Amino acid sequence: MGQGDDTGRRVGWSPGPNTHGEVGHEWLTLSDDDLLQRIEALATNHDDDQALLTVVRSHRHFFIRQEAAKRVTDHALLQAHPDDRHIGQILVRRMTRKEDLAYLEHLVTTSRYLEVRKAAEAQLQRVRALHDEA
């Protein structure tokens, strides 16, 4: 890895407050405990995907980012994060449509994270089995 090359380097998490001037940035001003509580308190049919994505894109602890990813209602929004091993696992476990097969196959062959590849392989088997039964 050359000097100034950050490819593959982990970014440290930030306990907050942290603002980025985007939708949901006020969520990042909360402590980890308060942020987690806000995420867990969301209704099933909430309209806070953009605020959750702000948390997903942040440098907060991976657990908080995963919990935010789990609550995103439009899982297609998470497809912009296939190289994040923590979010990638959440994404592939939510993919169940036949249309998602190509994306899952792509992750199996391209993800650099074993956890994401294994989760994608397992989900591919599950989706194929569901559609074979139909």
Q: What is the pLDDT of residues 86-123, one digit of tens each?
A: 787 777 777 667 667 888 888 899 888 898 899 999 98
pLDDT at 134 over 70: no
Tokens of 12: 């440290």
Rg (CA), the chain: 16
Position 71 confidence tier, pLDDT thresholds 50, 70, 90: very high
Higher-scoring residue by pLDDT: 61, 100: 61
Whole-number pLDDT of residue 26: 87
Burial of 40 (0-12, 13-18, 19+ CB in 10 A): exposed
Whole-number pLDDT of residue 72: 92
pLDDT at 13 over 90: no
Position 32 confidence tier, pLDDT thresholds 50, 70, 90: very high
Are 68 and 61 spatial neighbours (Cβ–Cβ below 8 Å)? Answer: no
Q: How far apart are CA 132 and CA 134, in angstroms?
A: 5
Structure letter (DSSP) for residue 128: H
Q: Work out whether the CA dihedral 105, 106, 110, 116 comes out positive or negative.
A: negative
Are 87 and 69 spatial neighbours (Cβ–Cβ below 8 Å)? Answer: yes
